[in-house]
Amino acid sequence: MNDFIIDAIQKGILETLQMTFFASLFSYIVGLPLGVLLYATSKGRLLENRAVNFVVGLIVNIMRSLPFLILLVLLIPFTRLVVGTSIGTKATIVPLTVGAIPIVARMVESSLCEVQPGIIEAAKSMGASPLYTIIHFIIPEAVPSLLQGAAINIATVLGYSAMAGVIGGGGLGAIALQYGYYRYQKDVLWTTVALLVAMVMVIQEVGTILAKAKRKV
């Protein structure tokens, strides 16, 4: 490998981390409330509302069932609208975020479902409102599980970010594609793959450690 490629890989690592970080952040900003909404409006929960639950659930399911590669292409006009261009690292953050939102929402929902019903009953018996119960009882109790879920989500986003190379995104995925696949540079291909694997492992491990530290049970 020559210096040029090593430079490119270094830049690629940075871009991948950027994409993963911002896409994860934005997807949680939207996905967390969405997951809470899915949880709270489902049957027998605090804010049971069949209509809201059905509509939100349907949108999430549709978004989730789209293959990410298709979503990338479908979202090109939207991406242009938001960031002004459809290629590059910044542009990739848009479809990554959109693609991760439904996954985050479902993950959050399932973490919240794990909270013991007794704790919710205790909150109710103390005169807590549904919103208070969610913010001060349910979410704090679910933190370890939410962290565990976050590790999985971030690793997924990282994997997706590699795919973005196909439509002109940056990052390690694009390098693997351009040098490794189109130019048959096997060493570049394997280096990027190894780097991606290492990054996923670090994310997963950090998530697990944080969740364990938080879990007081």
Partner 1 sequence: MTKIYELKNVSKTYRNDGKEFEALKNISLDVEEGEIFGIIGMSGAGKSTLVRTLNRLEDVTSGTVKFYDKDLAELSPGELRLVRHSISMIFQSFNLLNQRTVLSNVEQPLRIAGVPGRKRRETAMEMLKIVGLEEKWNVFPARLSGGQKQRVAIARALAANPNVLLCDEATSALDPKITGEILELLKKINVERNLTIIIITHEMSVVEKICDKVAIIDNGELAEVGGVKEVFSNPKSAAAKKLVFPSNPFAPSSEGGKLIRIVFDGTKSSEPFIANLVEKTGKKVNILSANTRSVGGIGYGQMILELPNDIRDQEIVIDFFEASGLSVSEVDINE
Residues at the interface with partner 1 (CB under 8 A): 116, 118-119, 121-129, 132, 136-137, 140-141, 143-144, 214, 216-217
**Tokens encoding 81:** 């609208």
Least spacing, CB of residue 84 vs partner 1, in Å: 43
Tell the smallest beta-carbon distance from residue 141 to partner 1 (Å): 6
Triad 147, 149, 153: Cα angle to 5°? 115
Shortest distance (Å) from residue 25 CB to partner 1: 23
Q: Measured in Å, how far apart are the chain's first and last C-alpha atoms? A: 50
Closer residue to partner 1 in complex, CB, 80/214 = 214
Pick 122 or 197: Cβ nearer partner 1: 122
Nearer to partner 1, 29 or 122 (CB): 122
CA dihedral (121, 146, 131, 62) positive or negative:
negative
Show the tokens assigned to 73.
Answer: 């292409």
At 63, which helix (H) or strand (E)? helix 50-65
In one-letter notation, the amino acid at residue 82 is: V
**In the complex, least distance from residue 44 CB atom to partner 1, rounded to whole angstroms:** 12
Residue with smaller CB distance to partner 1, 136 or 183: 136
